[in-house]
Amino acid sequence: MRRALKATKTSGRPPRRTSRRLSAGREGSRLPQFVFLFLGLAVALFGWFLDHGEDFSWVRSVFARGYDSALGAYSRLLTDGSVTNEDRGFSGFVNVVFGNGQSVPVVRVEFLTSGSVQTSQGLQQIRSLRFGLQDGTTIARAVSADDIESLLRDRYLIRPLLGWAQFLMSFGLAATFLTGFIGILKQTPKGDPTSPQLPQ
């Protein structure tokens, strides 16, 4: 009688190998969740870097090279007084500020004067620039300093990167939350298979 009861109690306990296999299977099933969770966060973080590309030189050098070169040409124009089509970033700067629809290309830009004008939006700095065409014709234009910088930023930084930044951040965050939600559902107890069974 005692042997029968002892056999019944021991038979209700799962073998140690089986419990170890179950725990190993659970840990193995969690590994893909951690991988997808990490990838989702990495994608969202990368999108955030693209969205703040102006603050990170590596983003501009890899994904928005035209911005730094055109901005560099504009800086040389203010410091040296003129830039030519042989300078780096010249075409990018001219295409934004002057336009690229001219039949005669621009070969030189000169910085003439700088002044301030009171507008409804406040005090603005005006740059007087002279564009020299290939046929010898010169065209003078007055452009707001804020407009020049915003035009360069919009053309070479915001337009190429904004769409990708928003997509990657949305996709990464959605993948992260979805992975976490699936992990919570899998951890919800549905009955412990390792619990001892009562003899019938």
Beta strands 122-133; 82-84: pairing state: unpaired
Which strand (E) or helix (H) includes residue 111? strand 106-119
As a whole number of angstroms, the distance between CA 163 and CA 59 comes to 15
Q: In the prediction, which pLDDT does 5 show? A: 46
As a whole number of angstroms, the distance between CA 39 and CA 52 comes to 20
As a whole number of angstroms, the distance between CA 172 and CA 51 comes to 14
Across 179-194, average pLDDT = 65
Closest CA to 149 of 106, 93, 66: 93
59 token code pair: 């983003």
Rounded to whole angstroms, what are the CA distances from 133 to 61, 84, 91, 107, 164? Answer: 30, 11, 13, 6, 37
Domain ranges, ordered by start, for the chain: 29-94+104-187
Number of Cβ atoms within 10 Å of the Cβ of 160: 16
Contacts of 146 (CB under 8 A, 6+ apart): 124, 125
Grade residue 37 by pLDDT with cuts at 50, 70 and 90. confident
Q: Is the pTM of this model over 0.85?
A: no
Q: What is the mean pLDDT of the chain?
A: 77
